[in-house]
Amino acid sequence: MTSQRSIDDLRAEIDQINRELLTLMSKRGEVVALIGHAKTQEGRPNHYDPAREEQQLRELEALNPGPFPASTIKTIFKEIFKASLALEESNDKKQLLVSRKVKREDTVLDIDGVRIGGNEPPIIIAGPCSIESEEQMEQTAAFLQGKGVKILRGGAYKPRTSPYGFQGMGVDGLILGSSVAREHGQLFITEVMDTRDVEVVAEYADILQIGARNMHNFALLREVGRARRPVLLKRGLSATIEEWLYAAEYILSEGNNEVILCERGIRTYEKWTRNTLDLSAVALAKQETHLPVIVDVTHAAGRRDLLIPLAKAALAVGADGIHIEVHPSPATALSDNEQQLDFAGYEQFHAALSSMMRVATPA
Ligand code: PEP
Ligand code: MN
């Protein structure tokens, strides 16, 4: 009479087999990683090899001693192949510095006491599209200071669709913008368009702006990556979210971790707005990266009547701030007349948003 083995005894044997399977799986994974590495070395980025999989399955089917049917063996091994492929490919993909996988906690910028990102209250970046005159900058900065705005914008180098449009005041604009901002206790942000100008712009600006049209200018991204100034990186007009994040990666890869992402609308078939504000990009950028993300409502909408609802929506999806253009007299502005707010318009914007922004109006 054969003595029947107890369930506990059989389970102990199963546990032991599991451990052996796990050891074999790990061993297999290590060999797979070596193959992936060799393929990459040989310049063969495509790791998927259906013919090789088919060959392995045929051999396993032929060798299968049972009790599992061939279809079950096939299903199990197909899962193993899938996991192995993921392993081979993951070794190819470098973890991005912008990714939350590399840095879990939010990056919080502290630019001379102005904090952006993380759990900080959302910030406002405001000012005219272009720097045009001392009077224009002085009036705007004084007005915005009264509204608690800590970051003054103004373009000294303007990316214009037409080469005959106003191109900006250049270095004179930089000097004007930075001195007016300083007088009003504000930081100065301005766009840099050319690698040759990074040094001089960084001398005057507290934050360097990379405009939408230059998001793919890799030489410029590398250059601002080497500058000792925070960078606001606009999303390109037709850039995917991935391309935008890779553009940020260029800056971080040069050692500059102080990057603010800025969604400013993308070009679509829609004509009633200048661009289409992509709020899912804001939510995704917040989720996938640790960087602060702000929303430029002015260039997204291209029209004044949408600025308040779009800014509210941006904050609702988690934006760390709003970028908006304000001009003492938009009708006579040298660029973007259609969309800049005048002071009365900004009063309304401020009143509608201040509870969400928690911007204190100085006494
Ligand atoms: C700007 O902010 O001045 C500007 C030109 O915006 P964008 O690059 O988003 O078009
Ligand atoms: Mn503008």
Model confidence over 305-321: pLDDT tens digits? 999 999 999 999 999 99
- For the CA of 299, the closest atom of ligand 1 is 9
Q: Does the structure show a pLDDT above 70 at 86?
A: yes
DSSP letters of 16-32? HHHHHHHHHHHHHHHHH
Q: Does the structure show a pLDDT above 80 at 89?
A: no
Rounded to the nearest whole angstrom, what is the distance from the C-alpha of residue 96 to the centroid of ligand 2?
Answer: 31
Over residues 12-23, mean pLDDT: 97
Residue 36: per-residue pLDDT: 83
Label residue 326 by pLDDT band (50, 70, 90): very high
Q: C-alpha dihedral over 89, 93, 99, 104, to 10 degrees?
A: 60
Q: Does the structure show a pLDDT above 60 at 1?
A: no
Task: Delineate the domains of the chain, giving CATH numbers in brackets.
Answer: 7-94 (1.20.59.10), 109-357 (3.20.20.70)
Nearest ligand to the CA atom of 264: 1
Residue nearest to atom 6 of ligand 1 (CA): 211
Quick one: how far is CA 139 from the chain centroid? Answer: 33
Rounded-to-integer distance, Cα 225 and Cα 104, Å? 21
Listed in sequence order, the DSSP H helices in the chain are 7-41, 50-63, 70-92, 134-146, 171-183, 198-204, 218-226, 241-253, 279-288, 297-301, 307-316, 343-357
Residue nearest to atom 10 of ligand 1 (CA): 212
Residue nearest to atom 3 of ligand 1 (CA): 129
Residue nearest to atom 4 of ligand 1 (CA): 211
Could you give the C-alpha distances from 38 to 11, 25, 51, 57, in angstroms and in order? 40, 20, 18, 23
Nearest ligand to the CA atom of 161: 1
Percent of the chain with pLDDT over 70: 97
Rounded to the nearest whole angstrom, what is the distance from the C-alpha of residue 335 to the centroid of ligand 2?
Answer: 6
* Contact present, 97 and 253 (Cβ < 8 Å): yes
Rounded to the nearest whole angstrom, what is the distance from the C-alpha of residue 79 to the centroid of ligand 2?
Answer: 52
Could you give the C-alpha distances from 347 to 11, 66, 352, in angstroms and in order? 74, 78, 9
Residue 185: per-residue pLDDT: 98
Rounded to the nearest whole angstrom, what is the distance from the C-alpha of residue 304 to the centroid of ligand 2?
Answer: 13
Over residues 257-275, mean pLDDT: 98
Q: 38-42, 173-177, 301-305: which has the minimum mean pLDDT? A: 38-42
Residue 88: per-residue pLDDT: 82
Q: Does the structure show a pLDDT above 60 at 290?
A: yes
Torsions phi, psi of 88, nearest 5?
Answer: -60, -45
For 242, counting Cβ atoms within 10 Å of its Cβ (0-12 exposed, 13-18 middle, 19+ buried), the class is exposed
Three-class DSSP category at 192: coil
For residues 220 and 88, which has the higher predicted lDDT (pLDDT)?
220
Rounded to the nearest whole angstrom, what is the distance from the C-alpha of residue 69 to the centroid of ligand 1?
Answer: 63
Model confidence over 226-235: pLDDT tens digits? 999 999 999 9
Over residues 21-29, mean pLDDT: 95
User: CB within 6 Å of ligand 1 — which residues?
Assistant: 129, 155, 159, 191, 211-213, 234, 264, 296, 299
Residue 232: per-residue pLDDT: 99
- For the CA of 214, the closest atom of ligand 1 is 8
Give this prediction's pTM: 0.79
Model confidence over 34-61: pLDDT tens digits? 888 788 778 776 778 899 999 999 999 9
Rounded to the nearest whole angstrom, what is the distance from the C-alpha of residue 324 to the centroid of ligand 2?
Answer: 9
**What is the chain's percent helix, strand, coil content, to nearest 5?**
50, 15, 35
Residue 111: per-residue pLDDT: 98
- For the CA of 130, the closest atom of ligand 1 is 3
Strand partners, 187: 151
